[in-house]
Structure formats: structure tokens, C-alpha cells
Structure 1
Amino acid sequence: MRKRYRILGGMALLALALDQLSKYIVMQTIPEHRPVPVIQGLFDLVNIRNRGAAFGFLNRSDIEWQFWLFLVATLVAAWAIFMLVRSSHDDPWLFAGLGLVLGGALGNLVDRVRFRAVVDFLDVYWGDWHWPAFNVADSAIFVGAALACLAMWRQPSGAGDKTGRNAGKASGKGGNAA
């Protein structure tokens, strides 16, 4: 198997396993809607269900079509990730980032299939300000997307072209100097 798919798959499996293990532990040890202070006034562990998307968007329990929307969105994202990996130059940081995104998306999909909601348990706040609760999968998606963006940003122009036709032109070497 090619290195890019080993990196992608390894990071996806790592993110998925850590996400599901952490959610299992939270569900076994913390009653729903009972915060457990970790850092007083800043960080609690909670056990809540989010039926919506990121930051509680579409968090209404009476909308069944959300499940199908999120299922299709996850499948489209997975397809897009595989297409990007397939057509990209060999950058392990890009593949690691995309693997984290894929693993996080799959972690939340597992919850949606099992519970018709996502288990969130990380609660960050300061005074009256509250960040919406999140989980390891959400963190993997965020960190993975940032890592993938940085990898693409630092990629030289034309590096994504596997044929190498644009590599010389982008760096000013080769090609026709008119």
C-alpha cells in the first residue's frame, strides 16, 4: 500500500479510536448534564448529546432529516479527501491532516448512527462566556484541517501536478524564457 494511504489511514484510525474511547469513558463515568470541574472557572467535563452540527447549529431533536444530511455530508467529505490524497504530491503533513479530518468525521458519524446525536464532553468557559461543548472528533477535524491548510499553503506552485510539467515553470527554472 502506498505511503500516502498508510499515513491517511493511520491518522484516521488513531483519531477514530481516541474519539470513541474517550466518549465511552465519559458515558460510563459522567451522568448526563452533570458537569465535572477539571479547572475551576475554565474547563469542565460534561456528558451531553448534540443532535445538530458544530456549535449546536441545527440542534433540534425533532428533525429526522438531519441524520441523512450529516450522513451524506460525511460520505461526500470522505470521497473528497480520497480524491485530494490521490491527486496530491507526496506531502506526509497533508495526508496526516486529512487523516485527522477523516477520522474525526467518522467518529461523529459513528455517534450519529448509534445515538442519532453526537456525544460532546469538553466544556470550556470563562465567566459568563461559554464555548459550545465539543469532543475529540471535533478537535481532530479542526487540527487536521489546519494542518492540511498549512501543508497546502507551504506547497510550491505546481507541486500538486504529479506529471511535473508545471514544476519548472513555477520555480522559474526550465520552460521557455521569453
Structure 2
Amino acid sequence: MRGLQAAGGAPLSGDTVGGAARVAPSGVRRIAALATIAVVVYALDLATKTLVLKTLEGREPVVLLDDLLQFRVIFNPGAAFSLGTGMTIVFTIIATGVVIAILRTARNLRSVPWAVTLGLMLGGALGNLTDRVFRHPGGLQGHVVDFIEAFPGHFPVFNVADSAIVCGGILAVFLAWRGYQIDGTRDTGGEKKDG
């Protein structure tokens, strides 16, 4: 069976070859955008964690702006923003599920805003999942390195991965609220439109 075609025979959403879907070039570009954002977020998270561990671990917090922002290294067994500290293995399983779900969803990706959203969430999930797998105490219960403390004493310490996950989550809620679909269509109250 052939996929939808525009005038001139160009595929709109991809052809099927031997029963397997082939992603159209526009879909490939959006998947590339998702992957690029995920890699950038992951690299920034890994680089900043490595840097703060070399320079700040075991030291007093570094105050950047009085009562507004400081860097302080903590090892977080919980979820983002130090929530659920007694459920480390559960969060490892959830993070793994999120990564798998994003990779499966990417096959239907035709939306640039959703590519950005999923890229942020994938990069953040992989960043913290790396800590869960490779940091002490191991066994999928590794502690995540957090170091950014906004409004010291009033807000949990976090990292680049946490920030990316939260920004991706906010963007996902906004896109869903506005009716933007992963396949590039927009639900406008009962009917879908392209774009």
C-alpha cells in the first residue's frame, strides 16, 4: 500500500515498502532536530556535572548572586528537584520508560515544536539516567549530581537535565493545549488541519 501523495507523486507522510513505513524527508529532518537537541542537552549536562565535581565537590557553595543563585554540589537519590528520595529504583525505571516512549514516538514526528519538546525531554532523561546507572551506589540506584540552587534555602537544587525536562514538559502542555499534534497537524476543536 502506498502512502498519501501530493501532486507529482511526492509522499506526504512516507511510503510503505514491504510493509514497513519509510519516513518522508521532512520527518527525517525533524528527527534529526530532536536528536541534535537531545545530544546538546546531554553533553551540557554531562560537562557541567563533570566540571562541578572537579571544582566544587566537598567545598562551600559558590555564591553567584546574593540570595538568588549559588552552586552547591549534592548527590540526589530522588527525582527532579530532590523529590521522592526513597524511590531511586522507581525513578530509574520511569526514566528508562520515558526514553523508550520518546524513541517510539519519534517515528510519527512531523512537528518542529514537538521535535524541540521531545529533544529536551530525551536529553534530560538520558542525563539523569546516566547518573542512575553509573554513579554511586550503583545497581540502577546511583545518585544524580545536582548543583544549581536558585533562591538558596527556598528552592530545591537541580541540574541541566532537570531544567531540560521541566522546560520540555511545560512546552508539551502548551502544545497539547494549543492542539498541536506530533504528526504535524493541529486539532482545532474537532477537526485537524495541517501545520
Alpha-carbon deviation of 1:57?
A: 2.3
Aligned residues: 159
Residue 147 of structure 1, aligned match among 158, 171, 174: 171
Partner of 2:22: none
Secondary structure of residue in 2 paired with 1:133: coil
Q: Which has the higher contact order (CA 8 A, sep 6+)?
A: 1
1:39 Cα deviation after fit? 0.1
**Of Structure 1 and Structure 2, which has the larger fraction of its residues in helix?**
1
1:71, 1:45 → 2: CA distance? 25
Instruction: Give the Cα–Cα distance (whole angstroms) in 1 for the partners of residues 129 and 182 of structure 2.
Output: 30
Kindly indicate whether the alpha-carbon contact (under 8 Å) linking 1:95 and 1:148 is maintained by their aligned counterparts in 2: no
Of residues 38, 56, 61, the one that matches 1:30 is: 56
C-alpha contact 1:32 1:46 (8 A) present in aligned 2:
no
Distance (Å, rounded) in 1 between the aligned partners of 2:131 and 2:182 = 35
Q: Is the 8 A contact 1:33 1:48 kept in 2?
A: no
Partner of 2:10: none
SS, match of residue 32 in structure 1: coil
SS at match of 2:179: coil
Helix, strand or coil: the match of 1:130? Answer: coil
Change (3 A) 1:37 1:140: same
Unmatched 5+ stretches in structure 1: 61-65, 173-178
Structure 2, unaligned runs of 5 or more = 1-24, 136-141
Match of 1:10 among 28, 32, 36: 36
Q: Distance in 2 between matches of 1:57 and 1:24?
A: 23
How far does residue 161 in structure 1 lie from its aligned partner after superposition?
A: 6.4
- The aligned counterpart of 1:68 is 89
- What are the Cα deviations for residues 127-173 of structure 1, in whole angstroms up to 9, with x where unaligned? xx5100000000000111222332333335xx5668x8x99x7169x
Q: Distance in 1 between matches of 2:156 and 2:34?
A: 28
**Do 2:149 and 2:157's aligned partners in 1 also have CA atoms closer than 8 Å?**
yes
Moved beyond 3 Å, runs of 4+ = 159-162
